[in-house]
Structure 1
Amino acid sequence: MVLSRFWLVIFISSIVFVIFSLFSGNNYTIDFVLNGKKDDPILVSEKYLQDLPVFIKDSIENAPDKTMIINRDTLNADSTYVFSNKVVKIYSGKQKSDGLLPTCKSTLLDLILPLMAYLAFFCGLMELLIISGASQKLAKILSPVFVKVFPSIPKNHPSISYMTLNFAANFLGLDSAATPFGLKAMESLQEINPEKDKASDAQIMFMCLHASGLTLIATSIIGYRAAAGAANPADVMLPCIITSFIGTIAAFLIVGIKQKINFKSASLVAGLMGMIGAIIGLLMYVNHLDLIGKNYFTSNLSALILVVIIVFTLILSFVKEKKFTEANTTVYEAFVVGANNGVKTGVTIFPYVLGMLVAISLFRNSGLFEIISNWIAFIFSNLGVAKEITDALPVALLRPFSSAGSRGFLIDSMNTFGADSMTGRLSSIFQCSAESTFYVIAVYFGSVNIKNTRYALGTMLIVDVICVITAIFVASWFF
């Protein structure tokens, strides 16, 4: 219900603001909101050639392609005058994101189809793990801890192994593998959900822990920083881990208090201490490496582990081939069945993702997002917050809505202020330490047709705020 109302508010307020901007003269046209593409120049005016200043008129007439560009602002797109059919079209500024119709197209072609391919492959592997018995053994090993965190899940339930693989993939920065494992976990949890259209306690806990974004190897962030010329691209690793870990603990505590979980359980404390110990151990190892060693380690560890998982699954399936025979199938046929289920899941979540991304597109192109972010930055600056921090806030504000959008702000902030500036580093931590909350909710709850997400959205947004505040303190401490 909360998600539905929030979606309606974004959609309706964006449309109203676009129409108001058109009739108030702030926008010359609203076609870009429907048909424009990201980074396209925006049409701001049309004039007859004779109505332009003489120097512009003469320059256009003398230009071979009847086009003139004026460098007025080095931080924004140049003003461009294009002469055609007695009229000069004047463009200025860049479009923030794709318009409504291109968003519909890109959601299918650039997002859902690749996602369906990942889902098909990894769901095929999951089917092999299920039939071979590996997932049941993993669930049995981890049940003592998971039944404390998820008391409503029966002991040794298959969802435990799926959630474990999802958390591990996120932890290692394997986004392509994390989503299929997570969707499989949601489907498994839905089987024991007594109210099929309402999120269960276990599903909410899983979603909030997943969305807290605990990551050890921030491969993509390191890549962006390296491309931007950072002296040490991996120097934000430790701040990212600390921030995301605090976000994960906050998510666990908030949901745990709501669900009355016993925090004094010995197995739960032991599991938490084990995870902390593993993180500290890996951090100590990475910290003693030189620059080349860090880059080599971070770029290869996650990929190597993914390859090991794939090889392990295939070898185990070959060794346990009798179990496939008992199930009246073969290893290959079982993989195909799992892959087919992955494709079906992709088709199911498409409408949910489309609806959310179209709303976000309208929200950004309407100008509302910029107004809100500017006001928040203004409030923070008047509270005495350093300009280096307020310059990075757009990344934090957009991250819950759009990973691609916040990534654009991240790259722009590093190009503008420098990859090794406080703003560039803080923007990197913002990007790494949280999830795209609205996208995640649309995908995961949409995959099992849950309409009432209860307090999941509110909790995830609170965790996002905690991660932002933590990131500011951690970045200030380190840099």
Structure 2
Amino acid sequence: MVLNYIWIAFFLIAFVVALVRLIFFQDYQVFSDLVNSTFDYARTGFEISLGLTGVLTLWMGFMKIAEKGGMVAILSKAIGPLFSRLFPSLPKNHPAYGSMMMNLAANMLGLDNAATPMGLKAMQEMQNVNPQKDRASDAQIMFLVLNTSGLTIIPISIMVYRAQFQAANPADIFLPILLATFFSTMVGLIAVAIVQRIKLHDPVVLAYLGGATAIVAAMLWGLSQLNNEQLRTVSLLAANLLLFTFIITFMVRALIKKVNVYEAFIEGGKE
């Protein structure tokens, strides 16, 4: 119901502001601009949705290959000890673990389009075991915080955009983004853990978080030794190489399991 009022408010506020501009500022073009903008942004919304649909279809297909080939189960087991403590309401080795892991990995590589479908898949899988369908579960809240805090090790998308707009040094935001997103993720994790009474002093949690901190620190030190051009080149190569390696690994694993990869991809895309 709240969204209903918010949606109506958009139009009412726009109408009132347009009237003010017309009456007090003699802006006779304002209503023409207002109507034109509704059509322009309707088209923009459709184009964004269409593009996202294609990306969703692609990655849902890959995730189905990973699922049938057993890679989701492997990822779930690898991250299971940590996730079972951060998401105690989820059953052990729940399918959402694999989707969450892939989502967080894509976010770390700055590949937002790849992360989105996996995040949606994870939310859907968690909703299946949510006892209260009309409100977010603790697991969904924790995942949402980890997702939106967005630990980004290689901000590839931002560097590409900066390069397209001819920034002097497209890669000079690398270290600030790494530091900012690392601390935002840690603060978000700790805050939610306190509210949900999750024990962060658990040895397993400390081991995973300590290991992640050490890896980030090592990467921070190593990449800080590169100049801007080298940093951009290495970041582009590493992010895309890792992403395509994931895809090939999914397919090879599925072939070993004698899965019809193409049919699995089509099945996933239809979802």
TM-score, scaled to structure 1 = 0.53
Structure 2 residue identity aligned to 1:105? R
SS at match of 2:171: helix
Aligned to 1:272: 209
Instruction: Label 1:331 to 1:183 Cα distance change in 2 as closer, same or farther (>3 A).
Output: same
Query: 2:257 aligned to 320, 324, 342, which one?
Result: 320
Residues of 2 paired with 1:214 and 1:3: CA distance? 30
Residues of 2 paired with 1:297 and 1:146: CA distance? 31
Instruction: Label 1:130 to 1:257 Cα distance change in 2 as closer, same or farther (>3 A).
Output: same
SS at match of 1:235: coil
Identical residues among aligned pairs (%): 36
Aligned to 1:286: 223
Query: 1:159 aligned to 96, 113, 116, which one?
Result: 96
Structure 1 residue identity aligned to 2:41? T
Query: 2:131 aligned to 188, 194, 204, which one?
Result: 194
Aligned to 2:50: 113
Residues of 1 paired with 2:211 and 2:251: CA distance? 29
Alpha-carbon offset, residue 213 of structure 1: 2.0
2:266 is equivalent to residue 336 of structure 1: yes
Structure 2 residue identity aligned to 1:335? F
Alpha-carbon offset, residue 3 of structure 1: 5.9
> Are 2:111 and 2:157, in contact at CA under 8 Å, matched by a contact in 1?
no
Q: Deviations over 1:165-200 (max 9, x none)?
A: 000000001112101111110111011011112111
Structure 2 residue identity aligned to 1:216? I
Aligned to 1:172: 109
Residues of 1 paired with 2:155 and 2:228: CA distance? 15
Aligned to 2:68: 131
Unpaired runs of at least 5, structure 2? none
Aligned to 1:30: 31
Of Structure 1 and Structure 2, the greater helix share is in: 2
Aligned to 1:400: none
RMSD: 2.0
Q: Deviations over 1:403-459 (max 9, x none)?
A: xxxxxxxxxxxxxxxxxxxxxxxxxxxxxxxxxxxxxxxxxxxxxxxxxxxxxxxxx
Residues of 1 paired with 2:250 and 2:44: CA distance? 33
Aligned to 2:41: 103
SS at match of 1:233: coil
1:459-478 equivalence runs, <5 A: none
Aligned to 1:88: none
1:363-378 equivalence runs, <5 A: none
Alpha-carbon offset, residue 316 of structure 1: 0.9
Structure 2 residue identity aligned to 1:30? F
Moved more, 133-142 or 1-10: 1-10
Structure 2 residue identity aligned to 1:16? V
Residues of 2 paired with 1:299 and 1:201: CA distance? 35
Select the structure with the greater relative contact order (CA < 8 A; seq sep ≥ 6): 2
> Are 2:149 and 2:188, in contact at CA under 8 Å, matched by a contact in 1?
yes
Instruction: Label 1:18 to 1:136 Cα distance change in 2 as closer, same or farther (>3 A).
Output: same
Alpha-carbon offset, residue 8 of structure 1: 5.2
TM-score, scaled to structure 2 = 0.92
Structure 1 residue identity aligned to 2:102? L
Alpha-carbon offset, residue 305 of structure 1: 1.0
Residues of 2 paired with 1:319 and 1:307: CA distance? 18
Query: 2:235 aligned to 279, 287, 298, which one?
Result: 298
1:383-394 equivalence runs, <5 A: none
Structure 2 residue identity aligned to 1:200? S
Instruction: Label 1:331 to 1:230 Cα distance change in 2 as closer, same or farther (>3 A).
Output: closer
Q: Deviations over 1:251-309 (max 9, x none)?
A: 21222222121121111111111111111111222112233321210121111111111
Instruction: Label 1:260 to 1:10 Cα distance change in 2 as closer, same or farther (>3 A).
Output: farther
Query: 1:247 aligned to 176, 184, 195, which one?
Result: 184
Residues of 2 paired with 1:262 and 1:12: CA distance? 47
Q: Deviations over 1:448-473 (max 9, x none)?
A: xxxxxxxxxxxxxxxxxxxxxxxxxx
Residues of 1 paired with 2:199 and 2:171: CA distance? 38
Instruction: Label 1:113 to 1:147 Cα distance change in 2 as closer, same or farther (>3 A).
Output: same
Aligned to 2:160: 223
2:143 is equivalent to residue 206 of structure 1: yes
Residues of 2 paired with 1:249 and 1:26: CA distance? 51
> Are 2:154 and 2:239, in contact at CA under 8 Å, matched by a contact in 1?
yes
Residues of 1 paired with 2:5 and 2:180: CA distance? 30
> Are 2:130 and 2:137, in contact at CA under 8 Å, matched by a contact in 1?
yes
